[in-house]
């Protein structure tokens, strides 16, 4: 994603303050059209049924989609002020749409688990479809490992505006070279390190350029990978697979069902709905999500405890950012 985000581009989408990669493009996305909002994987998470939401320990350290939306809005206001201070009086940060209430931090981590949703849209949850619809009008995707973008209209930046926003040039593909090649001033005024994007992140966090701290992101992804090898989970996978086989479907685990190439199309087929519905039924019958979530929560907590000092700092930075974002709104 880093190389894609730093290739030459002329249009960018305002999303949020800082992405997991930690690039100075934090808060903005390339206009290549990558559809991050529709992707469900190790770094997307799970809702257990339509009413019950399962939480994980890492949520104390990473912004939820709703928090992400608040930080995006506050960040946009700070970026606008910064840009206008650099002489771009007409610069306006686009308004950020509120987070979809159907989307939570824990959506889809363990696959589709809502029977009603599966019956309506198979493996294509409504909140992801909403993100795709919002982008279809011109707003493009996607920040690395951040929530789905809002429906904000993306600005078109001149070379000078790009320099002021990012502290880099548009022409250099490699981010480090882009930093080195970038002039230190624009319109006779000093560009803050990393541009107005990084400056706004530092203002919110009290010094950091990232809201999606690398360590928290790593734990979030690694705990999922570790859970796949946990004996309790592999045993539950086997039970789920046997249940699916009894319904006429041959998948070794829920990821294989979700990622079936037959379903990698924009429209939802009757077969996809049937498989997703069987998937949910078998998850309920075997209590797979209960077992999986419990195992991962334990794994995740051990990882957090092992880095208690660093994670405490990350938690404080998140709280500081949310407090400052609230004050800015």
Q: Annotate 208-256 with DSSP letters as a single string.
A: -S-SS-HHHHHHHHHHHHHHTT-HHHHHHHHHHHHHHHHTT---SSHHH
Instruction: State the pLDDT at residue 326.
Output: 84
Instruction: State the pLDDT at residue 268.
Output: 95
Name which residue leads in pLDDT, 200 or 233. Answer: 233
Residue-wise pLDDT for 18-73, tens only, equals 332 232 222 222 222 223 233 333 333 333 333 367 889 999 999 887 888 888 88
Mean pLDDT for all residues in the chain: 75
Name which residue leads in pLDDT, 319 or 7. Answer: 319
Q: Cα(250)–Cα(245) distance, rounded to whole angstroms? A: 5
Q: Cα(7)–Cα(10) distance, rounded to whole angstroms? A: 10
Instruction: State the pLDDT at residue 205.
Output: 83
Identity of the highest mean pLDDT range in 204-213, 276-285, 318-327: 276-285
Distances (CA, A) of 46 to 53, 101, 255: 8, 14, 13
Q: Cα(80)–Cα(5) distance, rounded to whole angstroms? A: 21
Element (H, E) at 53: strand 52-53
Q: What angle do CA 28, 30, 33 make, to 5 degrees?
A: 125
Does the structure show a pLDDT above 70 at 222?
yes
Residue-wise pLDDT for 73-98, tens only, equals 899 999 999 999 999 999 988 776 66
Query: What contacts 22, CB < 8 A, 6 or more positions away?
Result: 209, 210, 214
Q: For the residues 275-301, what does the mean pLDDT come to?
A: 97
Residue-wise pLDDT for 140-172, tens only, equals 222 233 444 444 455 678 888 988 988 887 765
Among the ranges given (25-34, 98-107, 209-218, 290-299), the one the predictor scored with the smallest mean pLDDT: 25-34
């Amino acid at each position: 994603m880093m190389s894609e985000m730093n290739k030459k581009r002329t249009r960018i989408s305002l999303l949020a303050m800082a992405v997991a990669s930690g690039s100075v493009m934090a808060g903005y996305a390339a206009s290549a059209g990558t559809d991050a909002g529709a992707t469900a994987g190790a770094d997307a998470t799970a809702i257990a049924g339509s009413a019950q939401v399962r939480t994980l320990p890492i949520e104390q350290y990473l912004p939820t989609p709703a928090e992400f939306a608040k930080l995006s809005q506050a960040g946009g206001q700070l970026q606008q002020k910064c840009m206008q201070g650099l002489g771009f009086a007409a610069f306006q940060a686009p308004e950020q749409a509120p987070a979809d209430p159907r989307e939570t931090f824990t959506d889809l981590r363990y696959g589709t688990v809502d029977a009603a949703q599966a019956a309506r849209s198979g493996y294509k949850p409504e909140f992801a479809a909403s993100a795709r619809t919002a982008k279809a009008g011109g707003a493009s995707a996607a920040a690395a490992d951040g929530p789905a973008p809002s429906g904000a209209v993306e600005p078109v930046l001149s070379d000078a505006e790009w320099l002021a926003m990012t502290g880099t040039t548009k022409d250099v593909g490699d981010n480090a070279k882009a930093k080195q090649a970038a002039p230190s001033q624009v319109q006779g005024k000093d560009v803050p390190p990393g541009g107005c994007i990084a400056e706004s992140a530092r203002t919110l966090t009290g010094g950091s350029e990232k809201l999606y701290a690398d360590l928290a992101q790593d734990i979030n992804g690694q705990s999922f990978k570790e859970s796949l090898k946990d004996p309790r989970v592999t045993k539950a996978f086997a039970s789920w697979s046997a249940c699916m086989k009894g319904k006429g479907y041959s998948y070794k685990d829920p990821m294989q069902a979700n990622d079936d190439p037959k379903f990698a199309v924009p429209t939802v087929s009757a077969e996809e709905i049937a498989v997703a519905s069987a998937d949910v039924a078998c998850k309920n019958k075997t209590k797979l999500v209960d077992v999986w979530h419990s195992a991962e929560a334990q794994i995740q907590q051990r990882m957090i405890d092992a880095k208690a000092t660093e994670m405490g700092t990350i938690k404080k930075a998140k709280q500081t950012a949310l407090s400052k974002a609230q004050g800015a709104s």
